[in-house]
Structure 1
């Protein structure tokens, strides 16, 4: 059985041949803040989900994320990993699900099935077991909140086309596991290809994480996804404007319920970045902040999809600026920042040497 897929809207490199009734000037791109609600592997949902950091006042979990979204008259999509309730008990996760739903945000399903099923990721399970995993998660969220979810994201993006078949069989409308810029193996990327465009695969919309190439040299590229912790505001803006120019229906950025905490302390840089991003988005006339559930309704109402989408490139300068700003947050950032400074020093030395030789032949 082969999945039938097609991407939404033409590439900016293609000649503009819109379908009848479609105009790039009448449809806005929807920016979706997606939040994976889960505990770290050795974490505690009280801190990683509900945002209680010992020794600090305030909330640094899903409550704080919702506060920021609501301050900008916006809502986020929260993919909740219900399966960890088998490990930690269901009090924290059920409370989180109810908070999300009662505050009017988009509650959806996140699958890290290991605590309840013998599989780390969805793609490791055969189709019938993937169906059982989804049915269990859907039923728990419905029992906790009375909401029947419409979308799913695989934990660690470990999905394949069987995952989409399973999603269709349990009545889901969308999957959000395609992540071409992840640093983990994503079977769905091998099966569907790397793209930022939504695709209709059999009866399910595949709405991808938005990705970009930091640096591209020939066939080689350094690719990553939009991530509130790992990307600079300048990079997010650049990729978003490119998606708008292409007429893509969605831009999706990744967060976690613990994005506002780092090693037991508040991650205030991520808090400021999300706030600044939401403020910038609200000032754009050609984009709106929405949810996956809203996107599904919009995609269903669109004309037949055509064309493909290219993956944008941000370039060395933005990559280096981001690394400099976060030089103490990981070895790669330090190496990139140092390499850039070394390159600048070499260029300066070469220019100075050439100038000296001109003056003193």
Structure 2
């Protein structure tokens, strides 16, 4: 049995930093609900699909936007996710730090895009603030974290430990993972313990083009994800972590559904529903850590699947 984590990063953006107070109401509607001429394809659509297939996902909710726009929109997101029984965890995009109406940190001017750009004490403060915002919004006490854009470092794990958050899922071997200071000599692809925190890294694979790629619904074809899940099961992997976002089923202009990605998501949900005897879709609450003693090589996907994915991405409009 393989533990599968369907993780959703829930974010709201105003598509720029000018005039954000005026832009926010429309941005919130687009990013959270995803209205189109053929229906809504945002967070509620994803929740319905998960419910239809009896699957529970982990929603890493970004709360720092509420320090600018108030707690009500955050509580609305939390309510949407919590009502069907999904798990709410913490996600931080530090681009919001200098936008807060009341300073989260002293002396911060301008953007710092990644959490890793902050000191240990600053990270402790930001994580504590984010967890408090989630709890106040009705999300309960979080026990897992993911840094925005995977921009974390080893100090992040120390900060999580000091905030009594035992799980992290910020390590991505295809992005900032190798230079995060966590497992500096060996790529991390399976759970491990570091600084008192259990790291559950993004599942990555070597594609036919020999590049590492993480398993994200917009970045992988359904054939790739299905094949990788079977491969992970057969090789007795401990965890398989998949990423998508609340707005991921929309096209880049966010004005219509991305039919290819919608189909991928629905097929993935159906696959996991059909194969419950092999794949246990779960979250971090109540999780017994399963760190491995040695890290295996990344999973692999054949060239022909890479080629088909590139064709699909081309049909989507130039996505790689």
The verdict on a shared fold, with TM-score over 0.5 as the criterion, is: yes
Aligned counterpart for 1:48 among listed residues 27, 31, 50: 31
Question: What is the rounded CA distance, in whole Å, between the counterparts of 1:191 and 1:269 in structure 2?
Answer: 35
Aligned counterpart for 1:249 among listed residues 235, 238, 253: 238
Match of 1:5 in 2: none
Match of 1:210 in 2: 203
Checking the alignment, whether the CA contact within 8 Å between 2:5 and 2:241 is kept in structure 1 is yes
Question: What is the rounded CA distance, in whole Å, between the counterparts of 1:331 and 1:322 in structure 2?
Answer: 12
Question: What is the rounded CA distance, in whole Å, between the counterparts of 1:273 and 1:212 in structure 2?
Answer: 18
Match of 1:71 in 2: 52
Change (3 A) 1:146 1:79: closer
Match of 1:58 in 2: 39
Shift of 1:190: 5.3
Shift of 1:158: 0.3
Larger radius of gyration: 1
Checking the alignment, whether the CA contact within 8 Å between 2:114 and 2:151 is kept in structure 1 is yes
Quick check: 109-118 or 271-280, which moved more? 109-118
Checking the alignment, whether the CA contact within 8 Å between 2:202 and 2:241 is kept in structure 1 is yes
Matches within 5 A, 1:177-196: 177-182=170-175, 185-186=176-177, 189=180, 191-192=182-183, 193-196=186-189
Aligned counterpart for 2:7 among listed residues 34, 48, 52: 34
Question: What is the rounded CA distance, in whole Å, between the counterparts of 1:88 and 1:124 in structure 2?
Answer: 24
Change (3 A) 1:133 1:187: farther
Question: What is the rounded CA distance, in whole Å, between the counterparts of 1:270 and 1:213 in structure 2?
Answer: 21
The size of the alignment, in residue pairs, is: 293
Question: What is the rounded CA distance, in whole Å, between the counterparts of 1:330 and 1:265 in structure 2?
Answer: 13
Aligned counterpart for 2:280 among listed residues 264, 288, 292: 288
Change (3 A) 1:40 1:316: farther
Change (3 A) 1:197 1:146: closer
Match of 1:132 in 2: 125
Match of 1:265 in 2: 256
Question: What is the rounded CA distance, in whole Å, between the counterparts of 1:291 and 1:146 in structure 2?
Answer: 15
Provide TM-score, normalisation by structure 2: 0.85
1:145 aligns with 2:145: no
Checking the alignment, whether the CA contact within 8 Å between 1:178 and 1:188 is kept in structure 2 is no
Matches within 5 A, 1:1-361: 28-40=1-13, 42=15, 44-49=27-32, 51-53=33-35, 55-117=36-98, 118=108, 119-145=112-138, 147-182=140-175, 185-186=176-177, 189=180, 191-192=182-183, 193-215=186-208, 221-262=210-251, 263=253, 264-284=255-275, 285-294=277-286, 297-299=287-289, 305-331=292-318, 333=320
Give the CA RMSD over aligned residues: 2.0
Provide TM-score, normalisation by structure 1: 0.76
Shift of 1:194: 2.0
After superposition, the C-alpha distances for 1:130-172 in whole angstroms (9 at most, x for unaligned) are: 0000000010111110500101100010000000000000000
Change (3 A) 1:332 1:120: closer
